[in-house]
Chain A
Amino acid sequence: MGLIILVGIFQSWNVALSIFNMCLISAVMTMGANVQWGYAGLINFGLMGYAALGGLAAVLISVDPVQEAWRAGGFDILMCLWLIIVMILAIRFILKNFEKSNFRTYGIAAIIVAGIIIIRVTAEPGIEAIESVNPAKTGFLGGFGLPIMFSWIVGAFFAGGLAFVVGKVALGLRADYLAIATLLISEIVIAIIKHEDWLSRGVKNVIGLDRPVPYEVNLQATEWFINLVAKFNSSKLELISNVADKQAALNQLVIEGSSVFVKLCYSGLFLIVVIALLIVTQKALYSPWGRMMRAIRDNEEAANAMGKNVVKQHLLIFILGSAIVGIAGAMLVTQDGLFTPGSYRPMRYTFLIWVMVIVGGSGNNFGAILGGFAVWFLWIEAAPIALFLINLFTAGMADTHVLKIHLIESVPYFRYLMMGLGLLLIMRYRPKGILPEKIEIK
Chain B
Amino acid sequence: MDLLNAIVLLLNYIFVPALAYGSQLALGAIFVTLIYGILRFANFATGDMMSFGTMVTILFTWYFQSIGISLGVLPTALLAIPFAIIFMIIYMLFVDKFVFKYYRINKSPPVQLAMVSIGVMFVTQAVVRIIIGPADRRFFDGEKFIIKAGEFKEMTGLNEGLAIKSSQVITIFVTLILVSILFWFLNKTKTGKSMRAYSDNEDLALLSGIDPKRVVMITWIIAGILATIGGALYGLDKSFKPFTYFNNMLPIFAAAIVGGIGNPFGAFLGGYVIAFSEIFITYAYKKFFMYILPESMEPETLVQLLSTDYKFAVSFTILVIVLLYRPNGIFKGKVL
Contact = CB atoms under 8 A, between A and B. Distances in A.
B90 interface: no
**Chain A: interface secondary structure?**
helix
Which has the most chain B C-beta neighbours within 10 Å: A169, A180, A347? A180
Contacts of A184: 250, 253-254, 316, 319-320
Interface residues of B, number: 43
B15 interface: no
Nearest to B98: A424
A252 B290 CA distance: 68
B120 to A, nearest CB: 7
Interface string A14-45: 00000000000000000000000000000100
Contacts of B122: 351, 355, 416-417, 419-420, 423
B313 A420 contact: no
Contacts of A410: 129-130, 133
B127 interface: yes
A362 to B, nearest CB: 10
B121 interface: yes
A119 interface: no
A176 B130 contact: no
Nearest to A422: B119
A213 interface: no
A177 B257 contact: yes
Nearest to A113: B305
Counting chain A CB atoms within 10 Å of each CB, which of B41, B99, B130, B309 scores highest? B130
Given A184-B319, A424-B119, A413 B111 contact: no
Interface string A338-354: 00000000010001001
Contact of B323 (A177, A354, A355, A419): A177
Interface centre among B121, B309, B313 (most CB of A within 10 A): B313
Interface in A156-189: 169-170, 173, 175-177, 179-181, 183-185, 187-188
Contacts of A416: 122-123, 125-126, 129
Contacts of A181: 319-320, 323
A187 B123 contact: no
Contacts of A413: 125-126, 129-130, 134
Contact of B42 (A180, A351, A424): A180
A131 to B, nearest CB: 13
Interface string B237-267: 0000000001000100110010000000000
Nearest to B128: A413
Given A195-B310, A417-B130, A187 B112 contact: no
A188 B313 CA distance: 5
A184 B44 CA distance: 13
B201 interface: no
A191 B310 contact: yes
Interface residues of A, number: 41
Nearest to B41: A176
Interface string B311-325: 011001101100111
Interface string B83-122: 0000000000000000100100000011110111011111
Most buried by A among B120, B122, B133: B122
A407 B134 CA distance: 13
B65 interface: no
Contacts of B327: 173, 177
B118 A180 contact: no
B189 interface: no
Given A420-B126, A427-B116, 6 more contacts: A191-B309, A194-B309, A413-B129, A416-B123, A417-B127, A420-B120
Interface of B: 41-42, 99, 102, 109-112, 114-116, 118-127, 129-130, 133-134, 246, 250, 253-254, 257, 307, 309-310, 312-313, 316-317, 319-320, 323-325, 327
Interface of A: 43, 105, 169-170, 173, 175-177, 179-181, 183-185, 187-188, 191-192, 194-195, 347, 351, 354-355, 358, 407, 409-410, 413-417, 419-421, 423-424, 427-428, 431
17 contacts: A177-B323, A177-B327, A179-B42, A180-B253, A195-B309, A195-B310, A354-B118, A355-B122, A358-B115, A413-B126, A416-B122, A416-B125, A416-B126, A421-B123, A423-B116, A424-B99, A431-B112
